[in-house]
Chains A and B, each alone.
Chain A
Amino acid sequence: MDLNYSSDELAFRDEVRGWLAAKLPDDLRDKVETYAELTRDDLMRWHRLLAAKGWVAPAWEQRWGGTGWTAVQRNIFEEECGAAGAPPIVLFGLHMCGPVLQRFGTEAQKQRFLPPMYKGEEFWCQGYSEPGSGSDLASLKTRAERRGDKYIVNGQKTWTTLGHFADWIFCLVRTDPAAKKQEGISFLLIDMKTPGITVRPLMLMDGMHHVNEIFFDDVEVPAENLVHEENKGWTVAKYLLGHERMSAGRTGVLKRELAKLKDFAARQPGSGGQTILADTHFREKLTRVEVEIMALELTNLRFLDAMRRTGQPPGADVSMLKIKGTEIQQTLTELMMQAADPADLHWQGVLAHRYCNMRKVTIYGGSNEVQRNIIAKATLGL
């Protein structure tokens, strides 16, 4: 057992760190640092900088721009981006639709969609959840009817993150209403400019516009935009869920947030002339979350190490990374609220917004209860 990075890995880390120090624009770093809202342009500017360097989609097949890095290198890269205060990568194209197309797409679909996705010329969003289909995703009702060389799509998607920025949406749609629910679903790529699509903002309790409702009213989609076979969309969805959870255990951002919290608490006056950081009750909660971050980071590395040894992607156990990572995110924002002077918790400040916003993380991407169901069934055999 050796928990240290090899000298090659350390050299790689230094290379990434050096590049980030030189190329991450100050204004973007400042926005991330102050929790300011990132615009479509901000997100795409960072995407294109990474694309120009060849680092925007490390895990892709090398033919389409993947870097050929080891799992440990990919982890180092993500950690360093998080620690440096880089904007998040929008996952829907690069981490979701891209891998799906490489696994299930036709050559023509790959040629058409992967290069603009890589370069950041087309912005993607995800059409999964519906008003009646959240955790029970397979009950979805949005209907796609085959007519000649087209599908006609009718229905509604909801909670569509950044749908108002998107050029394209990948959707799960029902192509066979008579089949058992998982068996009548297909995976369809839809141009957001198609007539019949309406995007309506859903305002969340943090007062922000991140998510949308999307209505489809006789929307015509060329049949060539079907990915994998008709009625085999659930296979694609399951493949994608595994991918999604694997990226949930990133600790670079968590470590940066922890450092900020410590720094903040060290400047907040508490009772008896000491700072909040020195307050025993606060300090115990803070240390416990720091220990949780250490445990999460090491567990993530253990999974990467197991992948290296077995050549297999980790199974349902990655759900625990999602559970713990999101619980830690929430605890950090909660402690930030506790450290703050009550007088600073007004709606013009950023902390209360952030606390409200972070309640979403244990709900999205498969709620933490669904993640527990997955571990219970797939790992524990219950």
Chain B
Amino acid sequence: MNFDQDEAQQLLTDSLQRFLAKDYDFEQRRTIVASPEGFSTRAWTTLSAIGVLGQALAPDHGGFGGGAVELMGAMEAFGAALLVEPFLPTMLAGRLVERAGSEAQKQAILPRVVDGALRLAFAHAERGARHDLGAVRVQARQDGGRWTVTGEKCAVLGAGAAETLVVSARIPAGVGLFLIDAKAARLTPQRTLDGMRAADITFDGVAAEPLGAGGNALPMIEEAVDFATALVCAEAVGAMKFACDTTLDYLKTRRQFGVPIGSFQALQHRMVDMYIACELARSMACLACAKADAADDAADRARAISAAKIKIADAARLVSQEAVQLHGGMGMSEELKVSHTFRRLTVIAQQFGDAGYHLARFATLDASRIAA
């Protein structure tokens, strides 16, 4: 048993941290967020050069054969820096291509993802589905040998940056996965609460290529979303660590009544509770990442990842709210990074299922475990 990063992981994390410190500080990020695209192709090229885009893909497709564990340090660094690049949607959709795609599709797509030439997004969520992964109403139809997709997806993260979309749609066997050229879809762009870019997407009988042999892909979607959930758990730890560090710093420097406000016990205990929440969340993020790639037992994986997401959602809420409160009025200001971290943590708390969703999923998995 060990919780270490191995040497390769440490090197990757170190290079990313150097890049983020130099080219992705809070002011540079602000410029990127305000740009029309909402991400930086320069940053994307660097991410590719550092090798993080291929970390979790198989060597057969140009990747490095790692998984969520290998990306943990990277995600923490992204969380601390509030990276807005479409990394997560590309990893999530890339995972689906790798799990469900034919060999030809994998060879056509994944090496280009690793090179930084191709960004992906996963168009899955629909209005009213909340976090239910099986609630898909977008329709896929087969006419002769050709497939088309019709319907609406909402809040698709990274859609505007993606060249290729992986789209879920209802088929007779259940939920199918399709590749669709992003240019063929109608996008209504949004800026998300945390400064990222998403879009509602309308498909009007758009030409679609089934991913792999077709058939019900819901178990693969669940696996890929669990993987992405583990990644945001690690990202949340980085964001919470930043929120704790910057709040602690503020408590030590901000003076009122002639003393640093950190000398007040009422504030000290709240700071300690933030710190504890962050440490416990880190433990659960380790668990989530370790289980995300242990594909032999889907129920065990799902149970651990739901447990982690419950803890992360609760901790993210506590840490983000307390960080703002302990900063006083300054915590509310647009000027300080902590208010942006608050917004990212607010989104992470509900991304891929909020605490309520995962409490219910955990209970269901537990009940079937007891029955078994």
> In the assembled complex, how far is the CB of residue A312 from the closest CB belonging to chain B, in whole angstroms?
16
**With A283-B363, A305-B2 known to touch, is A3 a contact of B268 (CB < 8 Å)?**
no
Task: Return the CB mask of A306-317 against B: 1 if under 8 Å, else 0.
Answer: 101100000001
Answer whether residue A38 sits at the interface, using C-beta atoms and an 8 A cutoff. Answer: no
Q: Among B203-211, B278-286, B335-343, which stretch is in contact with chain A?
A: B278-286
Answer whether residue A111 sits at the interface, using C-beta atoms and an 8 A cutoff. Answer: no
Report the bound CA distance from A372 to B359 in whole Å: 29
- Among residues of A, the one whose C-beta sits closest to the C-beta of B251 is A382
Contact of B287 among A3, A372, A376, A382 (CB under 8 A): A3
Contact of B359 among A288, A323, A382 (CB under 8 A): A288
* Residue of A1, A301, A302, A320 contacting most chain B CB atoms (<10 Å): A1
Report the bound CA distance from A287 to B275 in whole Å: 22
Answer whether residue B276 sits at the interface, using C-beta atoms and an 8 A cutoff. Answer: yes
Answer whether residue B30 sits at the interface, using C-beta atoms and an 8 A cutoff. Answer: no
Answer whether residue B57 sits at the interface, using C-beta atoms and an 8 A cutoff. Answer: no
Looking at chain B's contact residues, the main secondary structure is helix
**With A2-B1, A302-B3, A382-B251 known to touch, is A376 a contact of B286 (CB < 8 Å)?**
no
Report the bound CA distance from A369 to B284 in whole Å: 25
Q: Among A222-230, A292-300, A345-353, which stretch is in contact with chain B?
A: A292-300
Indicate if the CB atoms of A298 and B283 lie closer than 8 Å: yes
Answer whether residue A178 sits at the interface, using C-beta atoms and an 8 A cutoff. Answer: no
Answer whether residue A84 sits at the interface, using C-beta atoms and an 8 A cutoff. Answer: no
Range of interface residues on B (Cβ < 8 Å): 35 or more
**With A287-B363, A376-B269 known to touch, is A382 a contact of B262 (CB < 8 Å)?**
yes
| Interface size of A in residues (CB-CB distance below 8 Å) | 41
Chain A residue numbers with a CB within 8 Å of B265 are 373, 376
Answer whether residue B127 sits at the interface, using C-beta atoms and an 8 A cutoff. Answer: no
Report the bound CA distance from A145 to B307 in whole Å: 57
Report the bound CA distance from A287 to B363 in whole Å: 7
Which residues of A254-292 have CB atoms within 8 Å of chain B's CB atoms?
A: 262, 266, 283-284, 287-288, 290-292
Chain B residue numbers with a CB within 8 Å of A372 are 268-269, 272-273
Indicate if the CB atoms of B271 and A380 lie closer than 8 Å: yes
Indicate if the CB atoms of A1 and B290 lie closer than 8 Å: yes
Indicate if the CB atoms of A380 and B1 lie closer than 8 Å: no
Chain A residue numbers with a CB within 8 Å of B363 are 283-284, 287
Report the bound CA distance from A305 to B4 in whole Å: 9
Answer whether residue B237 sits at the interface, using C-beta atoms and an 8 A cutoff. Answer: no
* Residue of A284, A287, A306 contacting most chain B CB atoms (<10 Å): A287
Interfacial residues, chain B to chain A (CB-CB below 8 A) = 1-6, 69, 72, 248, 251-252, 262-263, 265, 268-269, 271-273, 275-276, 279-284, 286-287, 289-290, 307, 310-311, 314, 356, 359, 362-363, 366, 370
11 interchain pairs, CB-CB under 8 A: A262-B370, A284-B363, A295-B281, A298-B284, A298-B287, A305-B1, A306-B3, A323-B276, A372-B268, A376-B269, A380-B271
